[in-house]
A and B are shown apart, each in its own frame.
Chain A
Amino acid sequence: MVIVVGTALAFDFTNGFHDTANVVATSISTGAARPQVAIGVASLLNFVGAFISISVAATVANDVVDAAVITPTIVFAGLIGAIAWNLITWWFGLPSSSSHALIGGVVGSSVAAAGLDAILAEGLVGKVLIPAVVAPLVAFLVAGVGIGLAYRIAGRQRPGPVARGFRYGQVISGGLLALAHGTNDAQKTMGVITLALIANGTLGANADPPLWVIVSAATAIGLGTYIGGWRIIRTTGSRIIKMDAAQGFSAQGAGAAVILASTHFGFPLSTTHVINGGVMGAGAGKRISAVRWGVAGNIIVAWLLTLPAAAAIGAAAYGLTHIFGSGALGPVLVTLMALALVVAIFARRAQQGAPVPAG
């Protein structure tokens, strides 16, 4: 159990690390906030946001896979699948979904262990797959309509004060987005740890996450956000569209509205997809050709690959872990192999120096 909880918190750290860009990229690229200030505030608000709601954690723990057939080893293998996919997409600077990586990893390892019966189709389709498609489209639409209205209402005034006003607005919308990110994303890890605790018999079926789970998940995502992922900040902040302050405000406002509404109903959606949908909408609302559709296309391909790829890695990780039996030996060996791989990746990156472009 200790290894599973540790792996879940490691995933949560990579989630914050990977998704920092979602929260701060637009503020940084429009000059609304200095990078270190934006990341520091986002980190704090992610931590706070994790305490606001547990609807999403309940969905992940109870509505996606059948808790009765889940074991801590299945949860561990799913987390390995999610972390591996997060690191692969981070390497290429692609803002893919940590949430879908997590759900894909757990679904893959569950199917490998217990067959398709382990999957709760109603929860997976109704609470994950359909919102996964709808949420970025709504963010795209809201940001597109919003930027059109913003230009119509304030666009005829002198540009200086208007740009300054929207930069101030981005302080609020960026903060709200960080809070929303903490509420939705930290809860997924809480849900997975809760699922492992239920599987281990530590908690009863349909239990809510204990306080220590909430505090540790909030801390891990806050720390990951603070350390940050500069590669993806660059892609989201400047490679999809060249953004002005009004577009940054519209993208963040649309993203925060979609995430907060979805969290209320317990949909564990991808904050990455939502904010990138908002960024594309804010670009397309000004001019369709303002969006660099080649970069957007790469991101969409990564989105489509996330669930199946993380599921495949999760299933493979379960197979590998299972070779060593159902005790702690398998997870320990797989963890050591994963750590060796991570060290090798970082060493290679340090040798190469410059970031890998997404486009």
Chain B
Amino acid sequence: MATLVQTKDLIETVIASTVAGVGVIAVFSAAIWGGARFADLSRDGRPLAAGAAAVFGVLALIVTLAAVVVGIVVMSSK
């Protein structure tokens, strides 16, 4: 039955899908939070806090894009 169901591959698929899916959604949401906070703090005249929010947002965006690229590379490597 273990061979029939290919348990190892299936579990790895479930874990990879869950981590990648939830991770990318959460990190991209953080990028949006950074962008929205940057706009609000800039309008409130708090440039230092706005800059920090912008840096956080940009970093989160870079992580999101990197995760997408890694996903495509890993998928096409087999």
Which residue numbers of A lie inside 8 Å of B, CB to CB? Answer: 52-53, 55, 121-122, 125-127, 130-131, 134, 138-139, 141-143, 145-147, 149-150, 153-154, 157-158, 161-162, 165-166, 169, 172, 176, 179-180, 183, 246, 249-250, 253-254, 256-258, 260-267
The contact size tier of chain B is 35 or more
Choice from A122, A134, A153, A158 contacting B14 with Cβ under 8 Å? A134
Q: In the complex, what residues of B have CB within 8 A of residue A126's CB?
A: 3-6, 10
The 8 A-B residue pairs with the shortest CB-CB distance in the complex, in nearest-first order: A257-B21, A146-B25, A165-B32, A157-B36, A142-B21, A153-B29, A261-B16, A126-B6
Query: Which of B28, B64, B71 has most chain A Cβ within 10 Å?
Result: B28
Bound CA span A153–B75, Å: 29
Question: Contact: B75 with A165, CB < 8 Å?
Answer: no
Main secondary structure of the interface of A (DSSP, over half): helix
Once A157-B32, A264-B74, A265-B13 are accepted as A-B contacts, the answer to whether A145 and B20 lie under 8 Å apart by CB is: no
In the complex, whether B54 has a CB less than 8 A from a CB of chain A is no
Choice from A131, A141, A165 contacting B10 with Cβ under 8 Å? A131
Chain B's closest residue to A143 (CB) is B21
Question: Contact: A153 with B33, CB < 8 Å?
Answer: yes
Q: In the complex, what residues of B have CB within 8 A of residue A264's CB?
A: 13, 16, 74-75, 77-78
Bound CA span A91–B24, Å: 36
Chain A's closest residue to B16 (CB) is A261
In the complex, whether B30 has a CB less than 8 A from a CB of chain A is yes
Question: Contact: A258 with B17, CB < 8 Å?
Answer: yes
Chain B's closest residue to A158 (CB) is B36
In the complex, whether B26 has a CB less than 8 A from a CB of chain A is yes
